[in-house]
Structures are given as structure tokens and as C-alpha cells.
């Protein structure tokens, strides 16, 4: 397996003092995801939980929906010219009767750690491919419980403590218990790792759960929540306009700027007992 962190010597400036010291960085390496031997996508990620990442990615694309849809996941030997294994290439075998990915989602470019699959999806595409309807999810939440999520997420980030350079995604139940946490240089990868964990453990759809992400909430993250059956998405920073549009369209409760005791509820406020007309 690849390393999660690496060490680099840096020059540190504090006021007029200049010192040289070692620093710990989060590793960023490409992961190629193949399905039945055919390349599907390359994403820049932090090594670790790669099988979850691949499974979650395929859920987001509507290829798999249950553990039985995945027959195998393995690292590809001979990934280098000399026959070595970089642990940066995965091949996913699909279960019997599972259709391969539609050629339209094949990537002729790599997805970066910052933008994921930008520009690929549309409101219509998500509406037609979503397996579960999250709008009818009955979850109800106490806003005071939600304000505890950022601290719980931060406390569970082990690699962030060493690098300060990773995003996190956490899955909570309605009572505020952290069910799963994953870290990665990319928010979308961290979410895929959480969804992949749930997929491989037979927990889809993720009804009555809350997805918490560090940073902003993009269209893509709302899309991934919908595809996994998650009814609530919360974020430390702002959502994009398209993320809010998709959340409203699909019945997702979208919360942003979740900091301290404050938050902005963009859609689905009924699940928190608030309405747009509140003063």
C-alpha cells in the first residue's frame, strides 16, 4: 500500500526568525479505476481505503447498488513497465448480470482532488439515475445535535492532525453518532470512501443518516448523497448554487456554514423544524 503521509524539509519564517524543519505532508497519488479490465477513471487521492473509494465511485455513477453487484476488487499486478505493483491501479469485477458502465461516463481525463467530476452531471441525469427517493425520508433532527458534528468530525481526523492538509467526510445517524469517517485530499474521494464502506457492508440505502463534509458543498457532493440515499448533507462552508438547486429538486436537506452554534439551512428545513419564514 502507498503511504498516507510523506516528510519534506521546509524553511519556516516566524517574524524575523528563519529556521529549517521537517514537515509532514498528505500524500496525493493517482488511482486508476478499471471495471472488468477496462479503464473507467483516474482520480487524484490519498492512498488508503481504495476499495471503498472504488465502490463508492461506482455507486455515484449508478453502476452498483449492493455488495452482490461487486464480485471482486483487486490491485492490478504488473501496473508498471517492469511488472511492479504501484497499488495505484484497481480492477473491479462486477457481479453476474450487472451491466458494465455506460460508455458515456468513461473518463478521457483525470479528475483532480479539488473538482472531482466537474461539468459531467446535470439535474436531469441525477433525476433519472437515482435509485432511492430521499425526499420521503422521515428523518428529523435537533439543530443542537447538528452543531456538534464539526467537532466530532475534527476529533476523528487522525491524518489531518499530522498534516493539516486533508478533507473529511463523516456519516452520522439521527442521534449524532459518527458511523464512519474517511479522509482524503479530495472531498469527493472522502465521500466516495464513506459510501463505498456502506456499500460493501450492505447498508445502502443510507436512510435517516446525515453526511458531514469539511469545506464546501458542491453539486457533486449532493449528487453522491442522492445516489447513496442520504437525505441530509451538512458542510462547514458554503454550497454552490447548483448544489442548492439539486438538493431542492431531490428533497435533500442542505446545511452550510455549520460553525459553532450557527448554520444556514438552504433546503429541507422541515427536517430541522424550521421554515423559510422564520425570524
Q: Which residues are catalytic?
A: 115
All residues at 6 or more sequence positions from 12 whose CB lies less than 8 Å from its CB, including other chains? 18, 19, 20, 21
Where b means 16+ CB within 10 Å and e means fewer, 185-194 reads bbbbbbbbbb
256, 266 in Cβ contact below 8 A? yes
Q: Tell me which residue of 186, 165, 195 sits closest to 70, measured CA to CA.
A: 195
C-alpha cell at 220: 457533486
Amino acid at each position: 500500500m502507498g503511504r498516507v503521509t510523506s516528510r519534506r524539509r521546509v524553511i519556516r519564517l516566524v517574524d524575523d526568525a528563519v529556521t529549517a524543519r521537517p514537515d509532514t505532508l498528505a500524500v496525493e497519488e493517482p488511482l486508476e479505476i478499471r471495471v472488468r479490465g477496462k479503464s473507467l477513471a483516474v482520480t487524484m487521492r490519498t492512498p488508503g481505503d481504495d476499495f471503498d473509494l472504488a465502490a463508492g465511485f461506482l455507486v455515484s455513477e449508478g453502476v452498483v447498488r449492493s455488495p452482490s453487484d461487486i464480485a471482486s476488487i483487486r490491485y492490478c499486478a504488473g501496473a508498471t513497465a517492469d511488472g511492479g505493483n504501484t497499488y495505484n491501479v484497481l480492477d473491479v469485477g462486477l457481479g453476474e448480470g450487472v451491466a458494465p458502465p455506460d460508455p458515456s461516463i468513461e473518463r478521457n481525463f483525470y479528475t483532480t482532488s479539488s473538482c472531482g467530476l466537474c461539468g459531467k452531471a446535470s439535474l436531469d441525469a441525477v433525476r433519472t439515475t437515482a435509485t432511492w427517493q430521499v425526499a420521503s425520508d422521515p428523518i428529523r433532527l435537533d439543530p443542537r445535535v447538528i452543531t456538534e458534528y464539526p467537532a466530532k468530525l475534527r476529533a476523528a481526523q487522525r491524518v489531518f492532525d499530522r498534516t493539516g492538509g486533508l478533507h473529511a467526510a463523516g456519516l452520522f445517524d439521527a442521534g449524532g453518532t459518527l458511523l464512519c469517517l474517511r479522509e482524503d485530499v479530495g472531498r469527493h474521494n472522502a465521500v466516495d470512501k464513506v459510501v463505498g464502506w456502506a456499500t460493501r457492508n450492505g447498508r445502502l440505502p443510507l436512510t435517516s443518516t446525515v453526511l458531514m463534509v469539511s469545506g464546501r458543498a458542491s453539486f457533486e457532493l449532493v449528487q453522491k448523497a442522492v445516489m447513496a440515499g442520504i437525505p441530509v448533507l451538512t458542510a462547514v462552508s458554503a454550497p454552490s448554487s447548483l448544489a442548492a438547486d439539486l438538493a431542492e429538486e431531490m428533497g435533500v436537506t442542505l446545511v452550510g456554514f455549520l460553525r459553532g452554534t450557527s448554520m444556514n439551512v438552504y433546503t429541507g428545513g422541515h427536517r430541522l423544524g424550521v421554515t423559510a419564514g422564520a425570524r
